Chain A
């Protein structure tokens, strides 16, 4: 079955530690996105990538980094510079950026700070 997988389901971060969230898709989609979800805040865009080896900052990119070395993978690193990382992180993908195709979402990763 085609879809988006995110791992791990839960992730714990210690003070000063960088952690990486995995996002993989087998839908052959060009565009991939990372969102952060906080209660009552909706979804806010962190980074997005329209093509391999290219990505753009979203609304809340500070303290995060990404890479897009392969079409099917778009990992997100939460760095120690992100002072309030506790949130639910959602990865999404879509076929052709700019054509308003549906974004398909993964099941999410919940990040908690120890």
Chain B
């Protein structure tokens, strides 16, 4: 069975500061990994995904994530936070060959002026 752990239910940063949201996973087979963002009372939007190939993945809105197999991690980063980045972020995993996603519990990103 696969699982996802997101460290920190809330992360606070100042505008312009580095954003780092942590995600660790467990999977019995090579995983496919995703980051989604959710604004209040809305559905989820895909930020980026790792399937195969380059382990550093670039997504929308300046976000990127690096797949580190040895650390079973897929942390999300952005060099400079904007106020518009305030939202809830979800990491998700699916083992290769499966059809359903397992989500982490989410991290709320708070951005202060």
Contact = CB atoms under 8 A, between A and B. Distances in A.
A25 to B, nearest CB: 12
A96 to B, nearest CB: 9
Contacts of A88: 41
Contact of B103 (A40, A42, A48, A110): A42
The DSSP consensus for interface residues of chain B is loop
Interface stretch (B13-21, B79-87, B89-97): B89-97
B53 interface: no
B32 A107 contact: no
A108 B41 contact: yes
A78 B83 CA distance: 37
Contacts of B34: 102
B89 to A, nearest CB: 11
Interface residues of B, number: 24
A42 B101 contact: no
Tell me which of A58, A98, A102, A103 has the highest count of chain B C-beta atoms within 10 A of its own C-beta: A103
Given A40-B105, A100-B51, A100-B94, A105 B99 contact: no
Contacts of B32: 100
B42 interface: yes
B9 interface: yes
A97 B43 contact: no
A64 to B, nearest CB: 16
A112 interface: no
A42 B51 contact: no
A35 B44 CA distance: 11
A108 B43 contact: yes
A41 interface: yes
A105 B41 CA distance: 12
Interface of B: 9, 32, 34, 36, 41-46, 49, 51, 90, 94, 96-101, 103-106
Interface of A: 4, 31, 33, 35, 40-45, 48, 50, 58, 88, 90, 92, 97-98, 100, 102-108, 110
11 contacts: A41-B105, A43-B44, A90-B43, A98-B99, A100-B32, A100-B49, A102-B46, A102-B49, A103-B46, A103-B101, A105-B44
